[in-house]
Amino acid sequence: MSITIVHTSCALCGQDTSSKKAYTWKGRVVCGDCAQKLEGAEEIKETPQTNEYNSLPIDKVLCKAAPLVLGGADVYFKFSCAHCSLRQSFEEPNMYYLFGTCERCGRISRITRAGFLMSTVAK
């Protein structure tokens, strides 16, 4: 078992947006090249740094979670919406999404910081 990092490609041209600036347009993730040609494209905000929750930068949270997953646990990553701050977790275990759509406000955040919940599974 290992953690899957879920990339999101530009909804229009298909290029990977994970390591570049990404924009949102009509509820979809688009790349910078496409965003320039679109009306109303907005840069996607990053998840906020909070002390309230155990949010760590992506590399740190993956370092913490990976050995647990290797040991047979399931982890559910959690993030705070960059727009309305709602704390939420992904339903799929062991999947780290680089972008998340908020279940309350419906806007997209780039998930640069996250925490996780662990649930142990019987072997």
Which residues lie near Zn ion (CB under 5 A)? 10, 12-13, 31, 34, 81, 83-84, 86, 102, 104-105
Closest approach, Cβ 111 to Zn ion, in A, equals: 12
Closest approach, Cβ 9 to Zn ion, in A, equals: 8
Closer to Zn ion by Cβ: residue 38 or 70: 38
Closer to Zn ion by Cβ: residue 11 or 95: 11
Closer to Zn ion by Cβ: residue 58 or 105: 105
Q: Indicate left, alpha or beta for 83 from its phi (over 0: left) and psi (-120 to 50: alpha).
A: alpha
43: CB partners within 8 A, 6+ apart:
21, 22, 23, 24, 35
SS3 assignment, position 85: coil
| d(C-alpha 99, C-alpha 67), whole Å | 23
Closest approach, Cβ 78 to Zn ion, in A, equals: 13
Closer to Zn ion by Cβ: residue 31 or 75: 31
Q: What is the largest distance, in Å, between two alpha-carbon atoms of the chain? A: 52
